[in-house]
Amino acid sequence: MLIKLKSICILFSVLVFVGTTAVRAEDFQCEVMSIEGTATVTNATVTEKALKEGDILKAGDIIQVASSSFVDVGYDKDWQNVTRFEEKSKVEIKSLYPIEMQLAQGGIFAKLKALPKDSTFNVQTPTAIAAVRGTEFETVHDDEGTQVYNFSDSKVYVFGQDESGKISDSPTIVENSQMTQIPRPGAVPRAPKMMSLDARIKGGRFKAGIEKRIQENSGRGRIGKLPDIRAIEKIHHEHRESSRMGRGALKSLESGQEKNEKMKQSMNRQDQMLNKIDQTKREPNRSEGQLHQQRPGSNDQNQGPPFKPNKDRMGGSRDQNIGNKNIQVDTQDDTGHNDPQPVKRKPPIRRGGAPRPSRTSR
């Protein structure tokens, strides 16, 4: 009886395995849309290889970009989601859908129009994680820590991160034309403030440059080697469903177990961040200042009050044309100081010293 029961269990497992469409890390890839200058890729099997246009990248690849160079990477057939790895950058692709990039140094500019449903784009640095669902933003990591810039109306959710990988309890929300900084591991992101004019110009150039490359590809009839967004969304949905139904153990029978495990970790981290983001959205009465709560054990005492942009200063904003693309350049400085209160004018004095009577008193 026991032998028969074991046989039935084994047969059932085989049937489930055969009847399940396995979703692996290899199902998601990205492509070098364009490259300027020099960049290389390394992974578990390749020591170092020069990148070229059309190369396929996958989870586990580490890209290094030389000085005066950049790499534009696409994530779908129609180039709806593109990132630019900036000069002197070192980026590891931790996961694809959810897209998670580990930025050791340098910068990543992301132009995202159509991420799959229930997916995020995350940039992880030694001090922070910036998570979005679709926007134009830049993450930079250097000797001063991590800086995150938002160039669109969509919000960027920034979590502080300590050396163990634990993220802050609630995100700091960075609005359009704002930036925040995370100076060191374990620090809470500083209150957002308006980014500098130079940062806006830089972002405008990156955006225009990516759009120019997309138009050039379209002009010569080139399309991406990857599936379109609808197909990617279907695969992503199947992966999430298989994970929820407990079929992840069957994937250990396949090759690439380590990559699948990394992708699973990225999905768990994505779910954790999405839950915190959704919790923030469900608290409408929560002031933005409360989103900068200091994590227990953090020594960051440089948290000022939340920055509230004043668009009325010096006449609001002006348009500046950069690369044939209009970007909004706010004329307000980035100090975060409030405008002085308007001066109350005294009523005019009539000859003889008495103030002019009002109409109602006449």
272-323 per-position pLDDT tens digit: 566 666 666 666 554 444 444 444 344 444 444 444 444 443 333 334 444 3
Length of the chain: 362
> Phi/psi class of residue 123: alpha, beta or left (left: φ > 0; alpha: ψ in -120 to 50)?
beta
Residues 33, 79: Cα–Cα separation, whole Å? 8
Q: Are the C-beta atoms of residues 104 and 93 closer than 8 Å to each other?
A: no
pLDDT at 235: 84
Residues 23, 117: Cα–Cα separation, whole Å? 17
pLDDT by residue for the chain (362 residues), tens only, comes to 545 444 434 333 333 333 334 445 456 899 999 999 999 999 989 899 999 999 999 999 999 999 999 999 999 999 999 999 999 999 999 998 889 999 999 999 999 998 888 788 999 999 999 999 888 999 999 999 999 999 999 999 999 999 998 998 899 999 999 999 999 999 999 999 999 999 999 999 999 999 999 999 999 999 999 999 889 888 877 877 766 665 443 343 344 455 555 545 555 555 556 666 666 666 655 444 444 444 434 444 444 444 444 444 333 333 444 434 444 444 343 333 344 444 455 555 555 555 555 555 44
pLDDT at 212: 97
Spell out the domain ranges in the chain: 28-219
- What letter does residue 7 receive in the DSSP assignment? H
- Residue closest to 146 by CA, chosen among 119, 179, 176: 179
Our CA angle for 174, 273, 83, nearest 5°, is 60
Q: Can you list the alpha helix ranges (DSSP code H) found in the chain?
A: 2-19, 197-219, 229-244, 257-281
CATH code 2.60.120.1440 for 28-219: yes
